[in-house]
Amino acid sequence: MTGEERLTAGCSPLAAIWNRIARAFGLGRKSGSKSGSVEPPPVDRIIVGLGNPGAKYARTRHNAGFFVLDALAGEVSADWVAAGGARTCHVEIAGCRTLLVEPLTYMNRSGEVLPALLDRFGLEARDIVVIFDDLSLPLGRIRVRERGSAGGHHGLESIMSALDTDEVIRVRLGIGEEHMPKDKAGYVLSDFPEEKQAELDDMIAKAGAAVRGILKDGVAQTMAIFNGSVCSRPGV
């Protein structure tokens, strides 16, 4: 499916039907491919979760973006593949053929893997949704934005620099507390406390619902539903 055929507001019911037909009949493959060559599965959208790789950072607040992608992949028991500086897996979300991406280049270099992925699948910066932690939001809240500054988040800064645009859809995940320590770097790199697990799980579920909303209904409608709402398990 060409860029012109993708609807910027999200994947419509007609797009979902086309996706099923394309998979059934092998449509949408590169016309110049050699017989027997393996083409990557077609992709409509890319969802990028930000974090740091390795067991040392596995439960840290800074890895909240990874948590959401792990949950989305787990819903359909998708298989992850580590290659080219990222973990990736293919899933279908709201009728969209979606690539989940967890950069393995550490937070401050998160954007390095994206230009090659966009080129590989014939996508643009507007086809990406980035999910990451945000100190300015209290734990349990999320914010959806279509564009804007990085707000001091180095992972998003790296992505905006690599793509040369601030028009990157993002889902911000609140990790802040009422009484924040002075050492903000130490805070984001510390583990989520066990007593906050229920709130974290609720926020992960809500972020997953926001992703589905963006892909199905577009950014504007999803912002109206989720921005500023307190943490609760969504019914969408």
Map out the domains of the chain with their CATH numbers: 43-226 (3.40.50.1470)
Mean pLDDT, residues 72-83 = 96
203 contacts: CB under 8 Å, gap ≥ 6: 64, 139, 140, 141, 142, 173, 174, 231
Q: 63: helix, coil or strand?
A: helix
Averaged pLDDT score across all residues of the chain: 87
Per cent of the chain over pLDDT 90 is 75
Mean pLDDT, residues 160-173 = 97
Q: Could you tell me where the beta strands, DSSP code E, fall in the chain?
A: 45-49, 81-83, 86-93, 96-103, 128-138, 142-145, 169-176
What is the per-residue pLDDT across 1-48, written as a single tens digit (0 to 9) for each? 444 344 445 675 555 555 554 554 454 444 344 445 567 789 999 999
Q: Tell me if residue 62 is catalytic.
A: yes
pLDDT at residue 213 is higher than 60: yes
Of 167, 86, 173, nearest to 128 by C-alpha is 167
What is the per-residue pLDDT across 45-77, written as a single tens digit (0 to 9) for each? 999 999 999 999 999 999 999 999 999 999 999
According to DSSP, residue 4 is labeled G
pLDDT of residue 231: 45
pLDDT of residue 40: 79
What is the per-residue pLDDT across 181-207, written as a single tens digit (0 to 9) for each? 999 999 999 999 999 999 999 999 999
pLDDT of residue 29: 44
pLDDT of residue 88: 98
Out of 62, 90, 153, 179, which one is annotated catalytic? Answer: 62
